[in-house]
Amino acid sequence: MSLRQWWRDLAMGVRFAFAGGREGWVRALLTAVGVGLGVALLLLTTALPSAVAVRHQREADRTDITYSDKIIPKAADTLLVASSGTTFRDTDIRGRELEPEGPKAPLPPGVGKFPAVGEMVVSPALKELLDSSDGKLLRARLPQRIVGTIGESGLIGSAELAYYRGAEGLAAQGITGGRITRIDRFGNPSPVQERTDPVLVLLVLVVFVVLLMPVAVFITAAVRFGGERRDRRLAALRLVGADGRSTRRIAAGEALAGAVLGLVLGTGFFLIARQVAGSVEVFGESVFPSYLDPSPLLALLVGLAVPAAAVLVTLLALRGVVIEPLGVVRTAKPSRRRLWWRLLLPLAGLGMLYPMVGQGRDGGDFNQYLVTGGVVLLLVGVTALLPWIVEAVVARLGAGGVSWQLAVRRLQLSSGTAARMVNGIAVAVAGAIALQMLFAGVEGDYSEDTGYDVSRAQMQVSVPEGKTLAATARQLAATKGVQDVYAFDEGYANDGQGDDAHFGRVTVADCRSLRQVAELPSCHDGDVFASHVAPDADGSGQHNADGESGVAAKPGKTLYFDTSEDPAKPTSVTWTLPKTLKQARSIPDPTGYRRGGILVTPGAFSAKAAAGVRGEIYVHLDESMPDAREYVRNTAARIDPLEEPMTWVSVKRNDRFDTIRTGLFMGAVCVLALIGASLLVSQLEQLRERKKLLSALVAFGTRRRTLSLSVLWQTAIPIVLGLLLALAVGLALGVVLLRMTGTAVRVDWPSVLSMTGAGAAVVLVVTLLSLPPLLRLMRPDGLRTE
Amino acid sequence: MTPAGSLLVADELRKTYGPTVALDGAQFSIHPGEVVAVMGPSGSGKSTLLHCLAGIVPPDSGSITYNGREMATMNDAERSALRRSEFGFVFQFGQLVPELTCVENVALPLRLNGTPRKEAEKAALGWMERLEVDDLRKKRPGEVSGGQGQRVAVARSLVTNPRVLFADEPTGALDSLNGERVMELLTEAARSTNAAVVLVTHEARVAAYSDREIVVRDGKSRDMERVV
């Protein structure tokens, strides 16, 4: 066989891919769109590592707060930076105050000119928010004139909310290296390579495999669109002299044409998605289009693997078909599907994962190749087992009503087609179930109970230097949406000045606030209490008890408060415990602490010692008031622009864990949509192939409901089997992954059932969407031949 | 034209598909037990006439009366019920459901009428015996020859004992020997049940099995008997 002949056959296949007028083009386009969607998703995946790296780099390039003890001296190239970030609703806003100290002060990335006092430069997303009616509340907190926008190089996402505003007198507020710092360049001077938690690596690997497997299954389904018609075309070619091998090469050429067109469309879809990605925010994450540059090597791999897979799948599909000159003969009795090798795949997968059981418990690394290989084999096992299960079950299904009989008989005749249709869903659901179990299992390890009692207070505001507790509390209490405030001056005092002096906590507050931290026998302004943490406290809310104060709380005892601003020059003031010292029993305060030590009402405290304590105010909100938190933030910003009130939550999650979870949800949405599209296309194609038959059935009086039901059964039976298999494999994989991480095995049934339900919902939606075309195809027009 | 005793009568039928005029004032009538051949060249409107007469496609204008009842007054469900119980159909390529066995295909119209499966298949087998294809009962349409498949389709069209049998080029895909056998069996079976047969064909030798011939040309029909 000459190369020329090969080339001729392939070229003829390419021509056939688009032949047949409108119908030919529609068929080629369907395949190309299917392959294209898969290619776009693969290209997006290849672009993710670069997106993460660019994001990380940009974050590093704009680092300013160094938390270093060493404060560099003021110079022509220094800049004072103060962190003044805030939160609007649930979104963090990165904010910095800038005060250049000389003409060579470094500009932050993305900023062309320092904003003057009363001016700010903002990110495009923040500008849009501030200009909108929605952002009015935020505008009250950021009233400065907007003089420019931050460029892409200074932001980590297109939807990031960020600003830089001009400031003066920052040095007077104390350069600590923390909240206010002096820098001569942006960027982290001492970057630290963080070691990634092996369990998180495991999660990321599994998420990738689980999301990409259905895409691969989808692509293989897409290249088989229009298969029956192609077989008939090949039979016609046999009649005019093409031999069996030649027809296979022509079929390969056809598949290649569809795949290459799919690659072109996929690249187009990817470029569109890349642009769209720049204008959307999903689960609080956004990117710039420029972040999504596929790794050249991976993109090349996609470009080669997709057409190769298309040809391979087509040739494999032709195995069971004998193309004779007078028609296509499907091997009348297809060879019975064998179970043994299908079982080997998931068993081999389990075998690869088994050696890593328990490894996560002691922080050991997982072998990435074994994890990926094991999960892939398990999920490929689903695609291998499902056709066998569908065949075995439908062969045993009895005849029922006409619609049931039509569906069952069709499934018996070609159970492989049905299994292929649901393979993608089954793989996605199996993977998602395993991941849900893993997430639910390790969630406890990555979530922390903060101990805050959010029923008593929801926000905390620190009283800034130079402001009094009472005045700040009054301002907050008068704020819209605030139900109550509990205000405390807190500090520590020694009972002597020598090395043997004891150290104890002192809390100054009015009686109403003190009742939030201790059970008081009676309380009037001027009272002082010694608060005890009962040794047999029931532990409720005892997140971190201070324990018994080290200070022996005896009437007449003198306490020393440190009032020095510079640790090198200690100064202290004294205050004496009154003779009427009362006893109190500590209860968990709203932050969850049980505080011991001395509780003092303002009337009993010395004005001189006030410099040795610092004010903290717990704010109880009226939760029925929309945006109550925003009003508090606005008041706090008025009191001190650098003050960011703390919003309490009862459970805190590891951020990185949240990111992976977010990734899974985003991916699952894309994959389910993709599979849904694939199912719909296959369904429509099957219906079109049967147009004439459907019309004939209607002609002799078949009810439309009967035919619609038969389509539903035809989809529902394999789907139910697929979901059951997915449930079994997903649970098995979930158990193995949990044991690998050393976590107790627990099935999170609500999420398992919701995943299964989501898979079933996709099928239902696809069936509903295919009903209108089905009804159209059932019109008698289908009988017309001319 | 409403000849006395006619079972199915059509008058002044008009039907267009876009710019194409398929029927242009066509007339038709048939008596119980009568075999009428509708002849004409390709594209003349024969099949459209059959589809209109069977209530599959509504005409743009004109009237069709079946057993004294105007079809235009029936809704889609009523017309479907009529086709299920009173009419039978044979198409050029059989249009058997490929995934059902031959006996299940023949029993299908009865099952659509609510007849229990066993009873329907028993009746189906009886018709398959009459049409000499009872040995194919377990085979699927893909496993039988064209002539055998067409006989199965004829059995399916007769299983409900229809009063009118519509046959659209029933031998169009068969060789002459097979075609003749199918026509013999079809007309014989129809006569034995007093069913009227509307036979659309363009072959004179097939039309020879009819009692009367009608020619359709450019959407207009002419009764051959009156011309000859």
CB < 8 Å to A693, chain B: 95, 97-98
- Asked whether the beta carbons of residue A692 and residue B95 sit closer than 8 angstroms, the reply is yes
pLDDT at B116 over 80: yes
Q: Which domain holds residue A552?
A: 459-649
CB < 8 Å to B91, chain A: 696, 783
Residue tagged 């979870």 (tokens):
A661
Nearest by CB to residue B112, choosing from A693, A701, A783, is A701
Of A458, A82, A39, nearest to A216 by C-alpha is: A39
Asked whether A729 and A378 are in contact (CB, 8 A), the reply is yes
- For A413, the closest chain B residue by CA position comes to B99
Q: What contacts B190, CB < 8 A, 6 or more positions away? A: B33, B35, B158, B165, B196, B197
- Asked whether the beta carbons of residue B109 and residue A701 sit closer than 8 angstroms, the reply is yes
Lowest mean pLDDT among A167-176, A318-327, A758-767: A318-327
Q: How far is A292 from chain B (nearest CA, A)?
A: 49
Kindly state whether residue A663 falls inside one of the protein's structural domains.
Answer: no
Q: What is the pLDDT of residue A193?
A: 61
Given CB atoms, is A694 within the 8 Å cutoff of chain B?
no
Kindly state whether residue A469 falls inside one of the protein's structural domains.
Answer: yes
pLDDT at A543 over 60: no
Domains of chain B with bracketed CATH? 1-86+197-228 (3.40.50.300)
Nearest by CB to residue B95, choosing from A406, A414, A693, is A693
Q: What is the pTM of this model?
A: 0.64
Residue tagged 């020997």 (tokens):
B177
Of A604, A588, A299, nearest to A457 by C-alpha is: A588
CB < 8 Å to B85, chain A: 701
Q: Residue A774 is encoded by which pair of tokens?
A: 């089905």
Distances (CA, A) of A51 to A91, A208, A263, A299, A372: 21, 15, 22, 15, 22
Given CB atoms, is A775 within the 8 Å cutoff of chain B?
no
Given CB atoms, is A35 within the 8 Å cutoff of chain B?
no
Q: What is the pLDDT of residue B172?
A: 81
- What value does the mean pLDDT of chain A take? 82
Phi and psi at A577, nearest 5°, equal -70, 130
Lowest mean pLDDT among A435-449, A651-665, B192-206: A651-665
Asked whether A557 and A530 are in contact (CB, 8 A), the reply is no
Distances (CA, A) of A681 to A32, A262, A689: 12, 15, 12
Q: What is the pLDDT of residue A271?
A: 93
Chains A, B: CB contacts under 8 A, how many? 82
Kindly state whether residue A127 falls inside one of the protein's structural domains.
Answer: yes
pLDDT digits (tens, 9 = 90+) for B8-52: 999 999 999 888 898 999 999 999 999 999 998 888 888 899 989
Average pLDDT over residues A688-696: 80
Kindly state whether residue A63 falls inside one of the protein's structural domains.
Answer: no
pLDDT at A204 over 80: no
Average pLDDT over residues A493-514: 85
A contact test, residue of B46, B90, B112, B115 with most A CBs within 10 A: B112
B contact test, residue of A783, A784, A785 with most B CBs within 10 A: A783
Q: What is the pLDDT of residue A241?
A: 67
Please give the residue that has the higher pLDDT: either A228 or B176: B176
- Asked whether the beta carbons of residue A701 and residue B142 sit closer than 8 angstroms, the reply is no
Given CB atoms, is A326 within the 8 Å cutoff of chain B?
no
Distance CA B220, CA B203 (A): 19
Q: What total of structural domains would you count in chain A?
A: 2
Q: How far is A412 from chain B (nearest CA, A)?
A: 8
Average pLDDT over residues A738-747: 83
Q: What is the pLDDT of residue A154?
A: 93
Kindly state whether residue A212 falls inside one of the protein's structural domains.
Answer: no
CB < 8 Å to A786, chain B: 42-43, 47
pLDDT class of A126 with cuts at 50, 70, 90: very high
Q: What is the pLDDT of residue A146?
A: 95
Kindly state whether residue A361 falls inside one of the protein's structural domains.
Answer: no
Kindly state whether residue A495 falls inside one of the protein's structural domains.
Answer: yes
Nearest by CB to residue A399, choosing from B17, B91, B117, is B117
Q: What is the pLDDT of residue A383?
A: 86
Q: What value of ipTM does the predicted structure carry?
A: 0.73
- Residue A407: exposed, middle, or buried by beta-carbon count in 10 A (0-12, 13-18, 19+)? buried
pLDDT at A230 over 80: no
Average pLDDT over residues A48-77: 83
Q: Identify the top-confidence range among A158-172, A740-754, B87-101.
A: A158-172
